[in-house]
């Protein structure tokens, strides 16, 4: 009878440990699945990101156009003929020996 009692006690302990481990595994699995759903991008978020991307691309294109215009104006200004000499220039000083 002691062997049957020991077998039943061992079976009870192993069954309890298995049940607790299984319940913890299922709980953790459900928790992770819930977290993944919260982190998953929604369609609204995808639309917003697409709009932001197109806005950034348009802004980059406009900045490039402004930079190109600035380079063009700088080139035109550097290629201009130097302005004429001023009309009234004071004579240069001459040092004469005494």
Predicted model pTM: 0.42
Residues 6+ apart with CB under 8 A from 49: 41
Q: Which domain holds residue 44?
A: 13-79
Residue 90 lies in a domain: no
Three-class secondary structure assignment of 34-45: HHHHHHCCCHHH
User: In the chain, how many domains are there?
Assistant: 1
Tens digit of each residue's pLDDT (9 = 90 or more) over 59-70: 999 999 999 999
Name residue, tokens 């039943």: 8
Interatomic CA distance for residues 85 and 62, integer angstroms: 40
Residue 50 lies in a domain: yes
Tens digit of each residue's pLDDT (9 = 90 or more) over 43-54: 788 889 999 999
Interatomic CA distance for residues 25 and 31, integer angstroms: 10
Interatomic CA distance for residues 77 and 74, integer angstroms: 5
Residue 93 lies in a domain: no
């Amino acid at each position: 009878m002691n062997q049957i009692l020991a077998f039943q006690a061992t079976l009870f302990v192993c069954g309890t440990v298995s049940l607790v481990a299984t319940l913890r595994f299922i709980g953790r699995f459900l928790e992770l699945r819930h977290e993944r759903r919260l982190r998953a991008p929604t369609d609204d978020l995808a639309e917003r990101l697409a709009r932001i991307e197109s806005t950034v691309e348009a802004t980059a294109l406009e900045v490039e156009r402004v930079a190109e215009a600035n380079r063009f104006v700088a080139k035109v200004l550097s290629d201009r003929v130097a302005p004429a000499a001023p009309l009234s220039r004071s004579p240069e000083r001459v040092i004469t020996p005494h």
